[in-house]
Structure 1
């Protein structure tokens, strides 16, 4: 594809479906990973990698795929969603790194008897999808990615140290409100101290501010009017604690540009990148850098969209990519 926006006819999501199989996968440690399968048991396996870190899956993630063609596999990463223990209750964050999650994905593939699968991920899900694909390249039949996030310092500074505040100054005030002025020079460190402190009320207050900042900036349409999961204290605590833990450790990658330095290894895997131009959470710079380093992947720039997978154009681009992948990997 060209560097310009790809025009696709609006497709919308496929109808809601229920899983035909659910379960928990044990790990070598304390974690138990929730997973589910829906769609066609004999279809093309696709694994959905949710965002965050710490975001968890949701039923609508089943609906990006033709249920007659795909065997749709969802799972909750360590500490979040239905996986156990939940990070809102277990404060240790033991054995929770990118490479533990990559190993979980590979164990899940083996458990479900999948030879190769399409890997579908957005935001942090794009990061983890790329890390998995670079580690287990022979097990990936295609990649569909959205809202590219490479866990580079520049990305973290943009969203958590004032860059995005220039676009959402009103929402930024709410984000920084729990942190004393003297500590705002390093907001990530200030939040980590409070999210892992012994004051439970302060932990919840800071978690809600952290998750609210992300939730309110997801869509180009602005903050949602109806309450969302980002206002739920249990979700917010798990989400904020896991996310800040990963960001503190820079995704557990060897270098700031680890993905870009290695992505050439994926040049023979069919891939689609869908990116909203006005994505504030994961700005287009990273998607563009990935596109330049990986020209073999089809790049779909959505001119009037933000970060959310449900923004018009992003949703259509993802469904179209999943439909196209059927003919490519069959």
Structure 2
């Protein structure tokens, strides 16, 4: 079974001002001039982490990672102004042009898979390949599955669901996303942080196949919790700023792009049906369903993702 490549530090970090308000934190690692790949983090709002650099052979890849608007070290922190999917797609193009890259592989998981698909469908001529994990197509059924009282996740992790649900008074539970949003957008800083930590701990505790207490603790860390919860709720309540079924509707634009879809059979956050639906519309892509949950750090997912990046490096090397 393949494991992550060894720890690696960026050979360059930079700031990219994409407009008068937003400045993005960008990292580059691996080998300058090698096969370029863009890593897209999840959330929205999760930000990049050091282990994200390690899905790629550093001798064969020029790896580009950045914190999306409002996330991680990008500024303003947790900011919602001019923060939509269209803005992020435009940011990716601005970054590609800034780096002088003609075409690149795009790698993304969870919300990162959503953004990767949106970008590739908007700019297929710029994409050499796609590696997608934990597919999220931004459909209402997917949002309701994990976040609402009629969703299915409550049957899998009832204890965690109860803690998430009980933060909201019963009278407001008909729309949990909106109820959380009112608190995440409150002028009361204490309430905002409590709501963010309740939201993020629920998500973090549901990511792995086997329970990992460190996962929920990391997600509930105040800085990460605030950006994750605020940005997710902002995007969720606006349908991810996508038209209904947009990503499936436009998948024909991707037919000639080599792609691997990796999905955990027991993914509770993004159910495997979503990956199967995408593959049914896009049979040219390779679908790998593995014994794992949602987390990119689950061993079976690491194995499949590293195999996928090695395969693309062989193809273009």
Aligned length: 315
Q: 2:209 aligns with which of 194, 199, 220?
A: 220
2:176 counterpart of 1:187: yes
C-alpha deviation, 1:225, in angstroms: 4.3
Q: In structure 2, list runs of 5 or more residues that go unmatched.
A: none
Kept in 1: contact 2:106–2:131 (CA 8 A)? yes
Which residue in the other structure is 1:74 paired with? 65
Which residue in the other structure is 2:256 paired with? 268
Partner Cα distance (2:145, 2:176) in 1: 12
Kept in 1: contact 2:196–2:226 (CA 8 A)? yes
Q: 2:3 aligns with which of 3, 7, 12?
A: 12
Q: In structure 1, list runs of 5 or more residues that go unmatched.
A: 1-9
Deviations 1:80-106 (A, max 9, x none): 10101101xx5xx10000010000000
What is the SS of the residue equivalent to 1:209? Answer: helix
Q: 2:125 aligns with which of 126, 133, 138?
A: 138
Give the TM-score of the pair, scaled to structure 2.
Answer: 0.97
2:241 counterpart of 1:252: yes
C-alpha deviation, 1:199, in angstroms: 1.2
The 5 Å alignment of 1:1-330 reads 10-87=1-78, 90=79, 93-161=80-148, 162-225=151-214, 228-255=217-244, 257-302=245-290, 304-330=291-317
Kept in 1: contact 2:205–2:216 (CA 8 A)? no
Kept in 2: contact 1:274–1:317 (CA 8 A)? yes
Partner Cα distance (1:103, 1:54) in 2: 17
Deviations 1:141-174 (A, max 9, x none): 0000000001100001100013201010111111
Deviations 1:296-315 (A, max 9, x none): 0011110x211001112111
Deviations 1:50-90 (A, max 9, x none): 00000000010110000000001000000010101101xx5
Q: How big is the alpha-carbon RMSD for the aligned residues of Structure 1 and Structure 2?
A: 1.0
Kept in 1: contact 2:203–2:216 (CA 8 A)? no
What is the SS of the residue equivalent to 2:63? Answer: strand
Q: Runs of 4 or more off by more than 3 Å in structure 1?
A: 225-228
C-alpha deviation, 1:14, in angstroms: 0.5
